[in-house]
């Protein structure tokens, strides 16, 4: 199933665009766990930012959404910054449609 691409999505209430997860502030011996459910309207568009905060490693982390395709809007290095205006950096003109993407070590990937 492909997600239809039709422009910028509407934000989901007052939620922050990024969770505050940083490898520089987390104790590797005390991993962070979170389970959160968000009910969405049928056919809603959701923006997801995957961030690879691995401290040691040379391999990118593969992400796959089984049974679904998504659009890759941004891909690169650096931390997820809620104050950053990411929309100006998005590839909104014919973005790639994929079902698997690699998140580079110390990098991030934004999908719809």
The DSSP symbol for 16 reads -
* Per-residue pLDDT tens digits for 24-80: 566 666 666 667 777 888 888 888 888 887 777 778 888 888 888 999 988 888 766
Close Cβ partners of 98 (under 8 Å, ≥ 6 residues apart)? 69, 70, 71, 72
* Least confidently predicted of 45-54, 83-92, 98-107: 83-92
Sequence ranges of the domains in the chain: 1-112
What is this structure's pTM?
Answer: 0.62
Angle at CA of residue 16, ends 6 and 44, nearest 5°? 30
Is the pLDDT at 12 greater than 70, yes or no? Answer: no
89 compared with 103, residue with greater pLDDT: 103
């Amino acid at each position: 199933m492909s997600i239809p691409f039709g422009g910028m999505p509407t934000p989901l209430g007052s939620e922050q665009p990024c969770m505050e997860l940083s490898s520089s502030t987390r104790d590797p011996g005390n991993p962070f766990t979170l389970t959160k459910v968000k009910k969405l309207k049928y056919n809603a568009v959701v923006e997801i930012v995957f961030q690879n905060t691995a401290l040691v490693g040379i391999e990118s982390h593969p992400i796959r959404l089984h049974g679904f395709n998504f659009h890759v809007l941004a891909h690169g290095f650096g931390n997820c910054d809620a104050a950053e205006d990411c929309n100006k950096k998005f590839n909104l003109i014919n973005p790639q449609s994929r079902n698997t993407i690699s998140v580079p070590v110390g990098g991030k990937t934004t999908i719809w």
